[in-house]
Amino acid sequence: MADGARLESVCAGNRTGGSNPPLSVLFHIFDFPSIVTTSDTMKSIPKYDGSCEPELSERPIGRIVIVLLCWVLGVGAIVATRFRGQWDAYMAIHRWMAERGVPHSLRNYDSLLIYVVFALVGAAIVSRIRGLRMLEVLCIRGGAFGVWKTVGWSLVPIVLGGMALGLVRGGLGIDLATAWPPFSSGVIRAPIGEELIFRGLLVACIAGVIKWSGRSFWINVILSSLFFGSIHVPWTPEALQSWPAFLATFVGGVWYAWLLRHWKSLWVPMGLHAGMNLGWMLMGATGGAGGGGIAENMLRVATIAIATALTIRMSKNRKPNSVAGST
């Protein structure tokens, strides 16, 4: 037997032999790519050095471990921000800051800090395994002109239309003292923090391990979008009454992930998320993500349609190797 063939046989045996049925079923459900080395690949290896174990991210069990770890971090970040008000030490710090004149809107930036830390920890783990920079793993890269052009043109309907609608309804009448808290929460904290966790950590980091296509990718997108929708409704029995908000944010989560998959830039969903929240605030829409009237939702649909059309056009014009990562 030739050296290359012998090495192929040994590695294939180590990688596939002895796998138990439950793990095999799990790998089939999530459609993890095959790791069995082909003979053509082995011919390119000049000499067997005694080591044929694949990298952690190349093993199916390794992929599962990394995916679960990212999910633990993502869920942990949301639980920490959702229930931090029940911690005595946390509330003591808030009371201390309030006594010193720190406004509530600024004190709540601790939630953004939690999101950033948890996302960076997950990205650091994946980047260590894949040999990439953390920001590349999170798809936070220098925005090409096409990225900002798409975001800018797409937001024209909802931002300018929101301003016009607000003026028609009695004037914007923006007072900094009253406008800053919702602006800070809806246009800064929520888009940055939520996109870092739900698209950065739970989509981009995981896609860097399981690839950006296939059944495993879309199952993960659906699960992360369901989780994204769940944070926009109360975690109480009354949550069923908020099903419009859940449905709108779930669909929005899938759409944001689709944009991220095509652009490989977190700036696109983050910018659109912030701009759409800004337009919603300018027009004075009520009912949260699942509310608004006909005019508000027509403007929202127009923004979604423009962003989708520009993304499809970009995908058709892009060279196959112009963006790193499998699409």
What share of the chain in percent tops pLDDT 90? Answer: 54
- CA 63, 69, 73, 75 torsion: positive or negative? positive
Q: What is the pLDDT of residues 281-298, one digit of tens each?
A: 888 877 778 788 899 999
Q: Are 125 and 74 in contact (CB under 8 A)?
A: no
Q: Give CA–CA dist 269/250, Å, rounded.
A: 14
Q: What is the pLDDT of residues 193-230, one digit of tens each?
A: 999 999 999 999 999 999 999 999 999 999 999 999 99
Q: What is the pLDDT of residues 236-272, one digit of tens each?
A: 887 788 888 999 999 999 999 999 999 999 999 999 9
Asked if residue 31 has pLDDT above 70, the reply is: no
N-terminal to C-terminal alpha carbon distance within the chain: 38
Looking at residue 157, its pLDDT comes to: 96
Convert 260-273 to b/e letters by CB count within 10 Å (16 or more is b): bbbbbbbbbbbbbb
What share of the chain in percent tops pLDDT 70? Answer: 76
Q: Give CA–CA dist 112/128, Å, rounded.
A: 24
Looking at residue 174, its pLDDT comes to: 67
Looking at residue 35, its pLDDT comes to: 37
Looking at residue 264, its pLDDT comes to: 93
Looking at residue 32, its pLDDT comes to: 44
Q: Rounded to 5, what percent of the chain is helix, strand, coil? A: 75, 0, 25
Asked if residue 190 has pLDDT above 60, the reply is: yes
Which range is least confidently modeled, 44-53, 56-65, 111-120, 135-144? Answer: 44-53
Asked if residue 109 has pLDDT above 70, the reply is: yes
Looking at residue 319, its pLDDT comes to: 56
* Tokens (6 digits) for 153: 């043109």
Please state the pTM of the whole predicted model: 0.80
Looking at residue 237, its pLDDT comes to: 81
Q: What is the pLDDT of residues 69-108, one digit of tens each?
A: 999 999 999 999 999 989 999 999 989 999 999 988 899 9
